[in-house]
Amino acid sequence: MPELAYVNGTWSTIEAACVSIDDRGFQFGDGVYEVIRSYDGRLWALDRHLRRLEHSMRAIALTGAPTAEVKPRIIELFERGQMREGVVYLQVTRGVAPRRHAYNAGGQPTVVMTVRAQHAVDIQLYASGVPAITVPEIRWSRRDIKSTNLLGNILAKQRAVESGAYEAIFVEADGRVTEGSSTNVFIVRKGCLLTREKGPHILAGITRDLIVETALEQGISVEERPFTVEEMRAADELFLTGTGTEVLGVVTLDQQRIQMGRVGDLTRALLDAFHERVRQARDD
């Protein structure tokens, strides 16, 4: 199971791969990325990830790496890696240039990809649920762009880890919840799902969308709107979604139990339904 890297057409081991220190990704975080996983030797939701990549690139006027050209490279990387349960990391930056804030439109972007084995979430955590903390939302106002510039997310996740929690959930100054540092957030109230609407406040998570669609298919009602930290604390269930995280119950928030401190029934049912969808390879 070789772990491999690709940098602008050059294939190598991950250790041997390199980019210039003048790359704007390194200097400024001037780039966007995607993380795509596979299940049983098949890349999951590849086209959805490519559509989101296109959205991110368009939003920052990053040209020169059309997804129609990137897609076959991703597939080739994945095939070379021969992973059944793998993760493709893909980053497109605005490329190498003398360090100046303003950029020259039409420069040559840097495309970096790696394929590695997937390190799945400890299966026990799906049964036990995880602790989370709340943190002030300090990030910029374009969280729909999957930017490599992740300082706010990193600082939040570090706080979570240092306090023994799995995730940090961002709360805006007016009390509205946005998302986790690397996940989307759902609450359950009276059998209905509630999650933040798509838009600049959150990343449009691929797993989020799949869970919304799966819930609707099963006749579960879904509201996509802002909700407050008080609504979250009082929720019947609280869970996180993400490519690596799948559907993971949160059982304590800031050390206070959510309901009985157990993973909720709807959370479990949605995780099962998600796995069924994966088995059916239904990711269009």
Q: Residues in the site for ligand PMP, rule: CB under 6 A?
A: 35, 153, 179, 182-184, 203, 205-208, 241-243
Could you tell me the smallest distance in angstroms from the CB atom of residue 167 to ligand PMP?
A: 10
Residue type, position 17, single letter: A
d(C-alpha 241, C-alpha 179), whole Å: 10
The answer to whether the Cα torsion of 6, 8, 12, 13 is positive or negative is negative
Nearer to ligand PMP, 94 or 208 (CB): 208
List of long-range contacts for 157-165, beta carbons under 8 Å, 24+ apart: 157/181, 157/182, 159/133, 159/135, 160/132, 160/133, 160/135, 163/133, 164/131, 165/130, 165/131, 165/132, 165/133
Nearer to ligand PMP, 24 or 139 (CB): 139
Catalytic position from the list 71, 146, 157, 198: 146
> Which residue has its beta carbon closest to ligand PMP?
205
Nearer to ligand PMP, 11 or 274 (CB): 274
Can 146 be counted among the known catalytic residues?
Answer: yes
Nearer to ligand PMP, 93 or 243 (CB): 243
d(C-alpha 135, C-alpha 126), whole Å: 23
Residues 135 and 171: beta-carbon distance below 8 Å:
yes
Would you please indicate which residues are annotated as catalytic (active-site) residues? 146
